[in-house]
Amino acid sequence: MGIFIGGDTKLIVQGITGRDGSFHARQMIGYGTQVVAGVTPGRGGKAFDDAVPVFDTVAEAVAETGANASVVYVPARFAADAGFEAISAGVELVVIITEGVPVADMLRLLPYAREHGARIVGPNCPGLIVPGVCKVGILPGNIVAEGPAGIVSRSGTLTYEVIDCLTKAGIGQSACVGIGGDPIVGTSFVDCLEAFENDPRTAAVALIGEIGGTDEQVAAEYVSKHMTKPVVGFIAGRSAPPGRRMGHAGAIISGAEGTAAEKVRSFQENGIAVAERPVEVADLLGARL
């Protein structure tokens, strides 16, 4: 039922009593996600909105509720520590929404996650949603619809725009994943493409990339070699000048490989139809469903 999350997801919200954590916890609960616990050190024993128990530690929350996923809404300097705490408590999926997490912190966290068989999504990401089933993060539930299109994107805002265009065109989604725009993220395009390829609910995939790095080129090669389902793409930042960061920490061109032109060329050479504007993704996907 979707990729990475589903009806069996039991979610902890780390930072549930903060401004962002409390707002989005209510949104996730309202969408139907099983939010089984919150964690805020020093607030243990209380209840969020008189419904969700709050614990001082993730270990206590997991022991009491059997939670298997966590979403992190804590300040950047504490976000990696929140990830370490969740993984050490046995959480299988940690979604880090926080922006501005130091790269050095992620370089410590990701090997730890791999060693313990856990998955990190993010940081600096909108999270993920399986329409009609579960959402973890900040993706707006009112714009999605159930259907056969898988969405994976580096950009949160572009994720929303493409989803909205698809829904208005009558193309629902099987799952939507925002992997985050930082130079180092826990879940890659390839991880998501592999999951969509193996997901019986997904018939086609939209891959939304942007300038900077070579992740899109690696994904394009994977599509050519391993995907049987059609994939369409869009690359943001075609007008970005070299050497200037545009929006995300990872969206900076250094040399030829990170340019939009290079990414578009790689997509086309590997059989991925490329939209010139986000709205055109719906047309390309619709022609392949």
- pLDDT tens-digit map of 163-216: 999 999 999 999 999 999 999 999 999 999 999 999 999 999 999 999 888 899
Domain boundaries, the chain: 10-121, 140-286
Residue 226 designated active-site: no
- Confidence check: pLDDT of 237 > 90: no
Angle, helices 76-88 vs 58-65, to 10°: value is 40
Long-range own/partner contacts, residues 54-63 (CB < 8 A, 24 or more apart): 54/16, 54/17, 57/85, 57/89, 58/12, 58/14, 58/82, 58/85, 58/86, 58/88, 58/89, 58/91, 59/85, 59/88, 59/89, 61/12, 61/36, 61/37, 61/89, 62/12, 62/89, 62/90, 62/91
Give the CATH superfamily of 140-286: Succinyl-CoA synthetase domains (3.40.50.261)
Give the helix/strand (H/E) hosting 234: strand 231-236
| Cis ω for the linkage preceding 123 (within 30 of 0) | yes
- Confidence check: pLDDT of 79 > 60: yes
pLDDT of residue 203: 98
Q: Are the beta carbons of 282 and 171 closer than 8 angstroms?
A: yes
AA letter at 284? L
As a whole number of angstroms, the distance between CA 117 and CA 111 comes to: 10
Residue 7: how many CA atoms within 13 Å on its side-chain side?
3
SS3 state at 151: strand
- Confidence check: pLDDT of 247 > 60: no
Equal CATH topology for 10-121 and 140-286 = yes
Band (pLDDT 50/70/90 cuts) for residue 251 is very low
As a whole number of angstroms, the distance between CA 251 and CA 206 comes to: 19
**What are the C-alpha distances in Å from 164 to residues 32, 151, 153, 167, 181?**
20, 12, 14, 5, 20
- Confidence check: pLDDT of 250 > 60: no
CATH 3.40.50.720 fits 10-121, yes or no: yes
Cα torsion 262, 286, 229, 142: sign = positive
pLDDT of residue 151: 98
Neighbours of 277 (CB within 10 A): 10
Q: Which of 24, 116, 226, 248 is catalytic?
A: 248
